[in-house]
Structure 1
Amino acid sequence: MAAENPCVFCAIVAGELPAHRVHEDGAVVAFLDRRPLFPGHVLVVPRRHLETLTDLPAGSVGPYFTAVRLVAAAVERAMAADGTFVAQNNRVSQSVPHLHTHVVPRRRKDGLRGFFWPRHQYSDETEAREVAARIRSEVNAELDAEADARAGTEADAAER
C-alpha cells in the first residue's frame, strides 16, 4: 500500500493486495469479505476513495447501486440463499473508512439477529476461491440476461 494512501480497499482496487474478486466494472470492485458472516459475504466498493455514501457524487449513485443489485442477485443464486442482507455504515461502525456495501447471503433461521456480526473465516483458500467463482459465474449470467433483455427491447423498438 502506498504510504500516502494507507486505505486497504484502495490497495485491493489497485491490485496491491489480494482479494477474491467477484465483479468489477468502471465504477466498483466487489470481492469476498475476509471475515464473512456467512460464505458468500461480498463487499462492493467504489474504485475511487470516498469515505461515506454522502461523499459519493449524485451521478455515481446509480452505477454504484446497480452493481450492488447485480452482486446481490448473484450472491443469492450462487449461495442458494433465501435472500440477502445488504448493509452500509457511514463512519459509526465503519471498520474501513472507504465506502463499502455488505451483501450477505441469508437463510431462514441462520442465527443472524439484528446487526450483530459474528465473523467466521473460510476454511481455506480453496473454499474462498470456489465461492468467489460461483458468484462470478452468476454475475456474468446476470449481465448476459440484462444484455439479452436490452437487445430484445431495442429489436422491438426497431420493428415499430
Structure 2
Amino acid sequence: MPAHCIFCGIVDGTAPSYPVAEDAATVAFLDINPANAGHVLVIPRAHSRDLLEIPADDLAACSLMAQRIARVLTAPTADGGLGADGVNLLNCCGAPAWQTVFHFHLHVIPRYRDTGRDQLRLPWRPDVPGDPAELSALAAQLSAAAG
C-alpha cells in the first residue's frame, strides 16, 4: 500500500470520509466532489492501483457493493433512498481516463430526470453512431486479442 494513498487512509480510519456502507472486502463512502448529491465511491479494502491490477475477487466484491448502493440510491425516499431515476456506474483507469486517485474505485452516481437535481452531463454524444466499417474492423481486432 502506498503511504500517500488517501483511499487506503479511509480504509484504515486515518483519513476522514462520509461512510455509507462496508463489508469484509469493500468500503463505500460519499465522493467529496460529487457529480450529483448521493454520489458514492466503492473501493476494495486491499490496495489495487486500477482496473488492470485489481484481483478478480476484489473486483467482484466492488461490483456487488455498487449494486447494493445503486439499489439504495434508487429506492423511494420513504424507504431511506434518494428516489433516483437511474444510476451511472463509472470507473476511470489511468490519468488520461480521468483517474485522479490511484486506488481502484467505482463511482455510483444517482441520476435524475429533473435537471435541477442532476448536474452531470456526458462528454460525448452516445446518440451519434460510429462508422460500420471501422466498428467491424475494430471488433475483429479486439476479438482476436481477447481470445
Give TM-score scaled by structure 2 length.
0.71
* Aligned match of 1:101: 106
Q: What is the correspondence of 1:10-159 to structure 2 with a 5 Å cutoff?
A: 10-77=8-75, 78-91=81-94, 92=96, 93-108=98-113, 109=115, 110-115=118-123
**Aligned mates of 1:49, 1:107 — CA distance in 2:** 32
**Aligned mates of 1:66, 1:27 — CA distance in 2:** 11
Give TM-score scaled by structure 1 length.
0.66
Q: CA offset at residue 59 of structure 1?
A: 2.9
Q: CA offset at residue 112 of structure 1?
A: 2.4
**Aligned mates of 2:60, 2:105 — CA distance in 1:** 15
Give the aligned residue type for 1:113.
Answer: R
Give the aligned residue type for 2:100.
Answer: S
Structure 1 gap segments, 5+ residues each:
117-160
**Aligned mates of 2:69, 2:10 — CA distance in 1:** 18
In 2 relative to 1, CA 39–111 (structure 1 residues): closer, same or farther, beyond 3 Å? closer
In 2 relative to 1, CA 45–115 (structure 1 residues): closer, same or farther, beyond 3 Å? farther
Q: CA offset at residue 76 of structure 1?
A: 1.8
| CA shift digits 1:78-106 (9 cap, x unpaired) | 11110111100101310100101001110
Q: Which has the higher helix share?
A: 1
What RMSD over aligned residues (CA atoms) do the two structures have, in Å? 1.8
* Aligned-partner SS, 1:23: strand
Q: CA offset at residue 49 of structure 1?
A: 0.8
* Aligned-partner SS, 1:102: strand
**Aligned mates of 2:65, 2:4 — CA distance in 1:** 25
The structure 1 residue matched to 2:7, chosen from 6, 9, 13, is 9
